[in-house]
Amino acid sequence: MHRHISFKRHLPRQMHVSSVDYGTDAVEVTEQPTSIGRIKPELYKQKSVDSEDTKKEDEKSCGKINFSLKYDYENETLIVRILKAFDLPAKDFCGSSDPYVKIYLLPDRKRKFQTRVHRKTLNPTFDESFHFPVPYEDLTDRKLHLSVFDFDRFSRHDMIGEVILDNLFEASDLSRETSIWRDIQYATSESVDLGEIMFSLCYLPTAGRLTLTVIKCRNLKAMDITGYSDPYVKVSLLCDGRRLKKKKTTIKKNTLNPTYNEAIIFDIPPENMDQVSLLISVMDYDRVGHNEIIGVCRVGNNAEGLGRDHWNEMLAYPRKPIAHWHSLTEVKRSFKEWQGRAASFDSQGSCPSPKPPPTP
């Protein structure tokens, strides 16, 4: 009975918003995200696939993974079965890899599982099951994170890529074992250990005004010996890689799950929207010494993945605040990616073209 009720309650969300998790209290934002019901994820996905040209090679070369999900009601356990991977990239000199998979059910990172290592294969069959105890009604707030590694005996294991399944109910209600295939996304380090930030983007083309509302963060990395951080959010407006402006939220003391609901506004004429991006940094305030970066994410036409999709969604629905959760990444990693893009500018010593050429 209870099971039935909770299933019903979850159903509308999984059907309409696919991979988006708005949280339960997102409505407390001053800009009412009423537009959300109007988003058609299937259209928007198609669009983002079409505009995906620069990064396609990387994504293709990381292979696919097949796993299944099933919920065991009696034991209140999610059973994740890692079945196989296909067409993995070769990470070793011999032209092969030694793959294994790490499994998390986010946001919990303490419980972690790992498959056995399969020697010298790009098409491993794992067929191993892992049990995550979790109440059924909590599943909507959990994400499955799979990271695929190449085992190396004498050096650090190479990360092949990762899969994050935002919506566990995407394929079924999990009462029966459901097989899922996913493209493995290119990644060089596990990107989820720093926490997440939820913000909305809204653009008014007539006024040339972009409003980023920092809503909240969750599961931030602890930076202080207290086991907490003092987070604030810094948003930089970048134009062709140069920082033009910087704005901040207030500081929330001693928390890893701060709520802000603070709007940050930038004036950007429509003709410049292709050139700009926003670098969002979650910082830890320290009374003594330097404030440290907890993690960053980027949105813009030149950003990757959700960073670009969120931006395009904002442009496709002007005047509507659109909110998404973003995983924070290490500053080094995103800086490197950004540098990779900016490299073509550096060699010429200036910012010549509004649109960077596609990365090779």
- Between strands 322-327 and 99-106, the pairing is unpaired
250: left (phi over 0), alpha (psi -120 to 50) or beta: beta
3-state helix, strand, coil in the chain (%, to 5): 20, 40, 40
Token pair listed for 33: 């995200």
Q: How far is the CB of 281 from Ca ion (least distance, A)?
A: 15
> If you search the block for the tokens 């040209």, which residue do you land on?
53
Closer to Ca ion by CB, 7 or 228: give it: 228
Give the per-residue contact string, 199-238, with Ca ion (x = CB under 5 A; - = no): -------------------------x-----x--------
- Rule CB under 5 A: say whether 284 interacts with Ca ion: yes
Note whether 144 and 168 are within 8 A (CB).
yes
Give the per-residue contact string, 7-46, with Ca ion (x = CB under 5 A; - = no): ----------------------------------------
- Rule CB under 5 A: say whether 255 interacts with Ca ion: no
Classify residue 135 as exposed, middle or buried by CB count within 10 Å of its CB (0-12, 13-18, 19+).
exposed
Contacting residue, 76, 87, 92, 267, with Ca ion by CB under 5 A: 92
Note whether 184 and 197 are within 8 A (CB).
no
Task: Please choose, out of 46-54, 94-102, 138-146, 301-309, the segment that lies near Ca ion by the rule CB under 5 A.
Answer: 94-102
Smallest Cα–Cα separation from 182: which of 317, 67, 29, 10? 67
Closer to Ca ion by CB, 28 or 152: give it: 152
Contacting residue, 25, 57, 87, 286, with Ca ion by CB under 5 A: 286
Q: How far is the CB of 176 from Ca ion (least distance, A)?
A: 36
Classify residue 27 as exposed, middle or buried by CB count within 10 Å of its CB (0-12, 13-18, 19+).
exposed
Is residue 311 classed as helix, strand or coil in its secondary structure?
helix
Distance CA(204)–CA(108), nearest Å, equals 38
- Rule CB under 5 A: say whether 196 interacts with Ca ion: no
Classify residue 260 as exposed, middle or buried by CB count within 10 Å of its CB (0-12, 13-18, 19+).
buried
- Rule CB under 5 A: say whether 119 interacts with Ca ion: no
Q: In what order do the strands lie in the sheet with 178-183?
A: 125-133, 77-86, 64-72, 178-183
Size of the site for Ca ion (CB under 5 A): 8
Closer to Ca ion by CB, 150 or 313: give it: 150
Q: How far is the CB of 87 from Ca ion (least distance, A)?
A: 17
Task: Please choose, out of 31-39, 103-111, 152-160, 187-195, the segment that lies near Ca ion by the rule CB under 5 A.
Answer: 152-160
Contacting residue, 98, 162, 304, 330, with Ca ion by CB under 5 A: 98
- Rule CB under 5 A: say whether 150 interacts with Ca ion: yes
- Rule CB under 5 A: say whether 159 interacts with Ca ion: no
Distance CA(185)–CA(57), nearest Å, equals 11
Task: Please choose, out of 42-50, 145-153, 232-240, 338-346, the segment that lies near Ca ion by the rule CB under 5 A.
Answer: 145-153
- Rule CB under 5 A: say whether 152 interacts with Ca ion: yes
- Rule CB under 5 A: say whether 138 interacts with Ca ion: no
Residues of this chain that interact with Ca ion (CB under 5 A) are 92, 98, 150, 152, 224, 230, 284, 286
